[in-house]
Structures are given as structure tokens and as C-alpha cells.
Amino acid sequence: MSRNARLIYSADYTRYYFHDEHPFNQRRLLLTYDLMSAYGLLNDADILPPRMATDEELALIHDPRYIQFVRQQGESDAELPLAAGYGIGTEDVPCFRQMHEAAALIVGGTLQAVDAVMNGQAEHAFNPAGGLHHAFRGRASGFCIYNDCSVAIAYLRKHWDARILYIDTDAHHGDGVQWAFYDDPNVLTVSLHETGKYLFPGTGSLTERGEGSGYGYTVNIPLEAFTEDQSFLDIYHELVPKLARGFKPDVIVTQNGCDAHAYDPLTHLSCSMRIYQEIPRLAHRLAHEWCQGRWIAVGGGGYDIWRVVPRAWTLLWSEMTDQPLTDGPLPEAWRSRWQPLSSLELPARLFDDPFPPIPRRAEITEKNRITLERALMYAPIGADN
């Protein structure tokens, strides 16, 4: 096993909990950790517990008044009068007890990953609880209270003066991260996501390219609904290496939401488990090519917690630790343990059987290709490579 990676993990992550019917269900982390273990991919030395992010660290991105309100709301049994103005108490972000502590632990987990990589403890680190990319400076949004991705990037800028390539392959646009660094030429944000025409948060168009000295350092690929594996991967493999060559990052941060899968109940993309092997494989290669291996990965969206998330993030950890997995039956001990708790039939194999082709495949593929060409036209840091 590679000793060059760390998994930031604790069962305490499940305290980030809205209610039983909410689609954001952190039981997915327990399932994922158990699947990694069932495959024999984990040793005790690989695991680092998360720490709590301090208020000072959170304030690298978040308004101190917002931080204080989240803490107060988490200490109250009733919704406070100003909650809606902070994006809390909504259908997406309901109130719950100790919400500040639960959210700050996730941010601290991502900062723990940053410290492990930047201090040379490991080349790579993965915080599966992270990836809460929708939260803004003073407002919760899209299941996200604090934005661990943005805090981690600001932390990298402050303590290491690093140039960061942020790659977001969640089906939902990484809006909170984009706007936090929209004018910063030292942070290149790249988001491949389902078009906002039909999906939250409705942003991430081609015309969002950055501003001021950061113009060109925001790259969005709004994919057509029902995009399949080959179109997704063709764009990813052409776009990301080109941008990395032009930008020459010091560190790569990847947000690994796995809600582009055809089984996901909240999106309209039609990908399979294949992309969740290829996405981290390319990120891994680019980290060694440009960043002396420095790669920080976080989780993100993923709302089929039984069939998709555990397999996708196990594949990521497999790649990160140089323990390649091939298709085959999932460990029977894992399936036997979790099947009684699931209303869905758990997958029998690591990869999916081929899905029926989408009838509009050629049209969707062509539209995505045009989107890529237009995005590259306005990305000066990569257009000539």
C-alpha cells in the first residue's frame, strides 16, 4: 500500500444531520468507509481524524456575524428570527442542534487534509465529508452551511501563497467557490456540471469567466441534461490537462461530487461508475506532473447513498493510494451488512452494466463539444496549449 495518502475520517461527521427525509444523508460516509475496509484498502496509519476549524479560519471566507449566528441557532430549539436571511431554516438547510460544531468539523477535516499535504506528511489527502461548495460568505445554500472548499483555498493562499487549480465535477455548479475567487488570478476554478437551465443553483454559464485580474480564471462547462460517460470524459480529458499546462498550479484541489450518475435522484445526467474511476485518475496524474504530487480531494454531492456514493469514493481512494480495483463482485460482507437497511437493491459489482443509450446522444454530444470550444476560446491561460 502507498503511504503517500491520508483519509480524513470520523464517524462524528454524521452529526451534520438535517432530518430523516432530507436528501443529504451522511450515512453515505459510513457505507463508503465500510466498503473501503471490505476491499482491504485501509490501514490505521492511513486515517487522520478531523479537527474543528476555528472561527478565525472560518472567517477567511465567512462573515463573523454569520458564524456567530450559526452557533446561536445551533444552541436554540426554535428557529431564530434572522434565520431565513442567513439561508437557514429553509427546505434545503433546516436548523439542527449543534449545527456550527458539525459544520466546523467538516471544514476542519478539509484543513487537516491541506496541512497533511502542504507540510509533507502525505502527497495526497481525501476528506469525503467535504465538498460543501454552495455556501457563501454570509449565507447557507444548497445543503451547505460553511464552504470547506473555499476556506481551504483561502487557507492555502494565506499560509503557502499557493496557486490552486480547483476542479469541481459535481453535477451542481460550484457557485460558492467560484464567486469567492472570481477576481483572483492565483485560483483557477473549473466546473463541469449540468446546465443551470434545469438544475440548482442555476449558475455556471459560459459567460461567467472571472473579472478584473481574474478574468479567464473561471472556466465553466455547463453540460446538457442526459450527458453520458463518453461525452463527459472527452471534455474532461481535453479541458483539464490543457488548463493545468497553462496555469501551472502548486496544488490541485478536487471536489468529487458523484451526482452525475444516472441513478442520482436530484440531477439529470446519465453517467455510470466509469467516470468515477477516470476523474481521479487524471487528477492524480496532473498532481504529479505539475504539483509534486500535492492533491487534496473532498467529497460533495451524491444522493443515491446506497448504489453510487460508496463505489465512487472507494474508486477515488483506490486511485489515490495506488491500489487499483478492477470490475468484479462487491465484497459480500459489505452487501450482507447493508442490504437489510436499504430499500434499493445494492449493486452486485463495482462497475455498472451498460446503460441503454440516450436517444439524443449525437445531439447532446455535439452541443457539449461546442460548449467546450467556446469555453477554451475565453480561457487565455490554456487556449494556446
Q: Which has the closest alpha carbon to 251: 217, 297, 291?
A: 291
120 burial class (0-12, 13-18, 19+ CB within 10 angstroms)? exposed
What is the rounded distance in angstroms from the CA atom of residue 173 to the CA atom of residue 262?
17
Please say whether the beta carbons of 232 and 223 come within 8 A: yes
Residue 134 is a catalytic residue: yes
Give Cα separations from 292 to 6, 80, 288 (angstroms): 16, 48, 5
Burial class (CB in 10 A: 0-12, 13-18, 19+), 40: exposed
Q: At what angle do helices 99-118 and 148-160 cross, to 10 degrees?
A: 40
Reading the block at residue 199, the C-alpha cell is 438544475
Strands annotated E in 56-118:
none
Catalytic residue among 100, 124, 133, 134: 134
Are 258 and 276 contacting, i.e. CB atoms less than 8 angstroms apart?
yes
- Residues 125 and 4: their CA atoms lie apart, in Å, by 8
State the Cα–Cα distance between residues 27 and 306, nearest whole angstrom: 9
Supply the residues annotated as catalytic: 134
